[in-house]
Structure 1
Amino acid sequence: MSKVIGIDISKQTFDVSFRVNSKLLHEVFANNLKGFKKFIKHFDCSSFRIVMEASGPYYVSLATYLHEHGIKVSVVNPLIIKRFSQMKFYRAKTDKKDASIIREYGETEFASLSLWKPETTGIKSLKQMRTTLELLQKQLRQSKNQLSAFNSSGLVNKDAEKNLKKVIRTLEKAILNMEERMLVVCKTYYEESLDLLKSIPCIGDKTGMMLIAVTDNFTKFKHYKQLIAYIGFAPRIYQSGTSVRGKGHICKMGKSQTRKMLYMCSWTAKRYNKTCREMYERLKAKGKPERVIKVAIANKLIKQAFAVVTSKQKYKENYQPNICF
């Protein structure tokens, strides 16, 4: 059996589950540098595979510390662990039990576990700035909606109106500044990839930066279909036997803001991107709904983006693949 240490991590502590001579053991360490040092001193971690969940930001420090000390780490999507627990019909939900489940999953699926590595400085900066940008945009929408609601009532308090307008101006300025700073970071670290992406009609700076951040500069996925599934544009068919014929739809398991941006790109791609325009006309002739066509175009844009960056060749409108017979 593969030697695996399962870790369930939280803000303050992390629970460790491991097996010694078929006996299951459990220990708890502090989620800080002192706890990390105590952990690797306590175990011969070089002979183990460490498996943990991607629990928000809490796992990053420990995973990075272990990686820097040459210890093999695998970080698993929490949903996978949840489904594995449900499959085993486990009912208990404690930190100790969660660590045991993660260890058991690691032992069962050891061959399929991929090694984790820290994100580069550029990607980490882009992701944090992008998250901040989304928060600012959300606050701006809320402020504008509130001001509009006050105006619709016909009775607007002058102080409330004045302060809301001030907040809106501040947020608009902060958003513009954040977008400019993101572009500087992206050009500093990933200028070549951004130029390649912008060669595709209807993909600009914002969408290009978003794709670079999501894909870790297109190193996170081996195939464009994996990226489509990660974003949440992969189709989901729901049918069983002869009686169940559910309506097909996309599997929205990715980040909604990413899907929204690519969906908006499809609106212009159906006019200005030759391949997407041909796809639009073909699917429209078959009677496909507009929304379905735009999702298909968004998938086509992802495929084009993946191709240009991984091949390091700019988009060619009349590109024909070399086919050997």
Structure 2
Amino acid sequence: MNKFIGIDISKQTFDVSFSKKKQEVFDNNQKGFKKMFKDIDPETGVVMEASGPYYLNLATFLHNKKVRVFVINPLKIKRFSQMNFNRAKTDKKDAEVIRNYALKMQEDLKEWKPEPKHIKDMKQLHTSIELLNKQLQQTKNQLGAFEDSGSVCKELGKSFRSILKKLEKEKERLEGQMLALGKEEYQQTVKSLTSIPGIGDKTAIMLIAISGDFEKFDHYKQLIAYVGFSPRIYQSGTSVKGKGHICKMGKSQIRKLLYMCSWTAKRYNKACVEMYERLEKKGKPERVIKIAIANKLLKQAFAIAKNKTTFDKNYQSKVCF
């Protein structure tokens, strides 16, 4: 394929770069989608950024019309634009940059497909639970600050504790819904993942939700990077040697769950036990070891879910996923 249309989309409108000479603006609604679709050649691919939720309706519409859709990480487009010394920053120019990216980086393009409704529902529940966790922590911190002052207004303390109770109850309700939905729709994957010593129902459901039942990634390293456990090395030449650490650019809630899972895995998961003992002998800090174990759990989960099998403590991996 050597024909691409670049789209820069926002909440109200989207700019379309059909070619160097043809660019148009359409309303971001069904009427605008239908108007734009009339000008699309059947052999043309449509490329757009993953701009929050704004691209989803258009991408789904085009996919249903049998148009090949490609959704790109905005950071890749930004870096591509910088590499080409683009100084202008307008919606029209961005659409052109997206089309040029597709023309030059065709081998990196991966066709987009809508997520199943169950995955969408689980991801929305997951996002809501993360929001409730933040609200809970903020409320606890504020109440703690009042208490540390030495005197808390009686009515204020009562109000804060009531809010905390309601938030905890709502969090438990949503977690229950997510767990029930995951077990109902992805029973086999849940069974496979929970066969791994250290991974329970809650972590299994979270992994299914963020990975689209492990269809979103082709390699376990992509999953590790998405979660935010990839190491970041800061080094240049012989003089700059910064301390390495994980990037933390991914999902904080699943990182916390996996870190907690590592406590169990280091005792009952054979591969993780061996890793713990080996790293402990090298003098590695406990936190570093548990992050390494969490990575091992992700690698095991990816392999087992992809192969649709169950955990075998004596299995020796010959093929790296």
Cα offset for 1:258? 2.4
**CA distances 1:58-96 after superposition (whole Å, capped 9, x unpaired):** 000000000000000000001111111111121221111
1:140 alignment partner in structure 2: 136
Tell which deviates more after alignment, 132-141 or 70-79. Answer: 132-141
Corresponding residue for 2:3?
3
Structure 1 residues 154 and 321 mapped into 2: Cα distance closer, same or farther (>3 Å)?
Answer: closer
Where in structure 1 are there 5+ consecutive unaligned residues? none
Structure 2 residue aligned with 1:34: 31
Displacement after TM superposition at 1:226 (Å): 2.0
Distance 2:199 2:159 in 1: 37
Cα distance in 2 between the residues matched to 1:92 and 1:295: 42
Indicate the larger mover: 143-152 or 26-35. 143-152
1:218 positional shift: 0.9
Secondary structure, aligned partner of 1:219? coil
* 1:189-200 equivalences in 2 (<5 Å): 189-200=185-196
Q: Tell me how far apart the structure 1 counterparts of residues 235 and 136 of structure 2 sit (CA, whole Å).
A: 42
How many residues are treated as equivalent by the alignment? 319
| 1:183 matched to 2:179 | yes
Conserved? CA contact 1:50–1:74, under 8 Å: yes
Choose 266-275 or 210-219, whichever is displaced more.
266-275
The separation in 1 between residues aligned to 2:185 and 2:161, in whole angstroms, is 36
**One-letter code of the match for 1:144?**
K
Q: In structure 2, give the amino acid aligned to 1:154.
A: G
SS state of the match for residue 6, structure 2?
strand
**Within-5 A mapping of 1:154-233:** 154-233=150-229
Report the secondary structure of 1:74's partner residue: strand
Query: Is residue 282 from structure 1 mapped to residue 285 from structure 2 by the alignment?
Result: no
TM-score by length of 1: 0.93
SS of residue paired to 1:46: coil
CA separation in 2, counterparts of 1:322 and 1:88?
A: 42
1:112 corresponds in structure 2 to 108
Which residue in 2 is equivalent to 1:69? 65
| Greater CA drift, 182-191 or 150-159 | 150-159
Q: CA RMSD in A?
A: 1.7
SS of residue paired to 2:255:
helix
For residue 14 of structure 2, what is the aligned residue in structure 1? 14
One-letter amino acid of the counterpart of residue 74, structure 2: P
Measure the CA separation in 2 of the matches of 1:234 and 1:169: 36
Which has the higher mean CA deviation after the structures are superposed, 183-192 or 313-322?
313-322
| Superposition TM-score, scaled by structure 2 size | 0.94
Cα pair 1:45 1:71 within 8 Å, conserved: no
Contact 1:197 1:208 in 2 (8 A): yes
Q: Say which SS state the counterpart of residue 186 (structure 2) adopts.
A: helix
Mapped to 2, the partners of 1:102 and 1:55 lie a distance apart of 13
For structure 2, the 5+ residue unaligned runs are none
Percent sequence identity over aligned pairs: 62
Counterparts of 1:243 and 1:153 in 2: how far apart (Å)?
A: 47
